[in-house]
Amino acid sequence: MLHRTKQKGAGALGTLIAVAVIAYGVYFAIQAVPQYLESSQVDSILQTVADIHHKKPLKDAGEVKSAIEAQLYINQMQGLKDAFSVTRLNNDWVVKARYERELNLLFTKQQKVYEKTLVLESPAS
Protein backbone atom coordinates (compact mmCIF):
# COMPACT_ATOMS: atom_id res chain seq x y z
CA MET A 1 0.00 0.00 0.00
CA LEU A 2 1.30 3.41 -1.02
CA HIS A 3 1.33 6.04 1.61
CA ARG A 4 0.62 9.50 0.23
CA THR A 5 1.18 12.74 2.07
CA LYS A 6 -0.77 15.87 1.40
CA GLN A 7 1.11 18.98 0.40
CA LYS A 8 1.25 21.57 3.13
CA GLY A 9 1.73 25.22 2.19
CA ALA A 10 2.52 26.68 -1.19
CA GLY A 11 4.21 24.77 -3.92
CA ALA A 12 7.27 25.96 -5.80
CA LEU A 13 5.18 27.65 -8.51
CA GLY A 14 3.00 29.46 -5.97
CA THR A 15 6.06 30.65 -4.08
CA LEU A 16 7.69 31.83 -7.30
CA ILE A 17 4.60 33.83 -8.28
CA ALA A 18 4.37 35.40 -4.82
CA VAL A 19 8.05 36.38 -4.91
CA ALA A 20 7.62 37.88 -8.42
CA VAL A 21 4.62 39.96 -7.30
CA ILE A 22 6.47 41.20 -4.21
CA ALA A 23 9.59 42.00 -6.26
CA TYR A 24 7.55 44.00 -8.77
CA GLY A 25 5.90 45.91 -5.92
CA VAL A 26 9.31 46.76 -4.48
CA TYR A 27 10.58 47.76 -7.95
CA PHE A 28 7.59 50.07 -8.42
CA ALA A 29 7.94 51.55 -4.92
CA ILE A 30 11.63 52.29 -5.47
CA GLN A 31 10.59 54.59 -8.32
CA ALA A 32 7.25 55.94 -7.06
CA VAL A 33 8.16 56.84 -3.47
CA PRO A 34 10.91 59.35 -4.40
CA GLN A 35 8.53 61.02 -6.86
CA TYR A 36 5.85 61.24 -4.19
CA LEU A 37 8.33 62.73 -1.71
CA GLU A 38 9.57 65.22 -4.31
CA SER A 39 5.99 66.29 -5.05
CA SER A 40 5.35 66.74 -1.34
CA GLN A 41 8.46 68.88 -1.02
CA VAL A 42 7.30 71.09 -3.91
CA ASP A 43 3.95 71.50 -2.10
CA SER A 44 5.87 72.46 1.04
CA ILE A 45 8.00 74.98 -0.86
CA LEU A 46 4.90 76.64 -2.35
CA GLN A 47 3.24 76.75 1.08
CA THR A 48 6.34 78.32 2.63
CA VAL A 49 6.47 80.97 -0.12
CA ALA A 50 2.78 81.70 0.55
CA ASP A 51 3.52 82.04 4.27
CA ILE A 52 6.41 84.41 3.55
CA HIS A 53 4.15 86.50 1.28
CA HIS A 54 1.43 86.55 3.93
CA LYS A 55 3.84 87.89 6.59
CA LYS A 56 5.53 90.43 4.34
CA PRO A 57 4.12 90.78 0.82
CA LEU A 58 6.58 90.07 -1.98
CA LYS A 59 6.58 93.16 -4.16
CA ASP A 60 8.04 92.00 -7.47
CA ALA A 61 8.90 88.90 -9.47
CA GLY A 62 12.51 89.05 -8.29
CA GLU A 63 11.44 88.77 -4.65
CA VAL A 64 9.10 85.88 -5.44
CA LYS A 65 11.84 84.06 -7.39
CA SER A 66 14.34 84.68 -4.59
CA ALA A 67 11.93 83.20 -2.05
CA ILE A 68 11.44 80.12 -4.26
CA GLU A 69 15.18 79.72 -4.86
CA ALA A 70 15.89 80.00 -1.13
CA GLN A 71 13.40 77.22 -0.42
CA LEU A 72 14.82 75.08 -3.23
CA TYR A 73 18.28 75.52 -1.71
CA ILE A 74 17.07 74.64 1.79
CA ASN A 75 15.37 71.50 0.46
CA GLN A 76 18.39 70.64 -1.74
CA MET A 77 16.22 70.75 -4.86
CA GLN A 78 18.08 73.35 -6.94
CA GLY A 79 17.66 71.08 -9.98
CA LEU A 80 14.00 72.10 -10.10
CA LYS A 81 14.77 75.82 -10.39
CA ASP A 82 13.70 75.92 -14.05
CA ALA A 83 10.43 74.12 -13.21
CA PHE A 84 9.11 77.27 -11.48
CA SER A 85 7.72 80.29 -13.29
CA VAL A 86 6.40 83.56 -11.88
CA THR A 87 3.92 85.69 -13.80
CA ARG A 88 1.74 88.67 -13.04
CA LEU A 89 -2.05 88.37 -13.25
CA ASN A 90 -3.79 91.66 -12.49
CA ASN A 91 -2.16 92.62 -9.18
CA ASP A 92 -1.42 89.05 -8.07
CA TRP A 93 1.65 86.86 -8.58
CA VAL A 94 1.06 83.40 -10.05
CA VAL A 95 3.70 80.81 -9.27
CA LYS A 96 3.60 77.63 -11.35
CA ALA A 97 5.67 74.53 -10.83
CA ARG A 98 5.70 72.09 -13.73
CA TYR A 99 8.03 69.15 -14.22
CA GLU A 100 7.95 65.63 -15.61
CA ARG A 101 9.12 62.31 -14.25
CA GLU A 102 9.13 58.84 -15.75
CA LEU A 103 8.04 55.55 -14.23
CA ASN A 104 9.56 52.45 -15.80
CA LEU A 105 6.94 49.74 -15.42
CA LEU A 106 9.14 47.05 -17.06
CA PHE A 107 6.92 46.58 -20.11
CA THR A 108 6.13 50.25 -20.62
CA LYS A 109 7.32 53.65 -19.50
CA GLN A 110 4.82 56.13 -18.15
CA GLN A 111 5.40 59.89 -18.20
CA LYS A 112 4.01 61.66 -15.16
CA VAL A 113 3.52 65.43 -15.33
CA TYR A 114 3.42 67.32 -12.05
CA GLU A 115 1.77 70.74 -12.15
CA LYS A 116 1.09 72.95 -9.16
CA THR A 117 -0.06 76.55 -9.00
CA LEU A 118 0.09 79.13 -6.24
CA VAL A 119 -1.57 82.56 -6.42
CA LEU A 120 -0.02 85.21 -4.19
CA GLU A 121 -2.73 87.80 -3.82
CA SER A 122 -1.73 91.41 -3.57
CA PRO A 123 -2.50 93.04 -0.25
CA ALA A 124 -5.68 95.10 -0.11
CA SER A 125 -4.96 98.72 -0.90
- Can you tell me whether residue 125 is helix, strand or coil? coil
Rg (alpha carbons) of the chain, rounded to whole number:
24
**How far is residue 98's CA from residue 25's CA, in Å, rounded to a whole number?**
27
Could you write out the DSSP letters of every residue in 46-113? HHHHHHHHHHS---SHHHHHHHHHHHHHHTT-GGGGGGEEEEEETTEEEEEEEEEEEEE-SS-EEEEE
**Residues 22-50: what's their mean pLDDT?**
95
Instruction: Tell me the pTM.
Output: 0.80
- Average confidence score pLDDT of the chain: 92
pLDDT digits (tens, 9 = 90+) for 83-125: 999 999 999 999 999 999 999 988 899 999 999 999 999 876 4
Q: Describe the crossing of helices 12-55 and 61-74 by its angle, rounded to 10 degrees.
A: 140
Q: How far apart are CA 41 and CA 117, in angstroms?
A: 14
**Is 80 exceeded by the pLDDT of residue 4?**
no
Supply the pLDDT for residue 122: 87
Q: What integer pLDDT is reported at residue 12 of this predicted model?
A: 83
Tens of pLDDT, residue by residue over 45-88, are 999 999 999 999 999 999 999 999 999 999 999 999 999 999 99
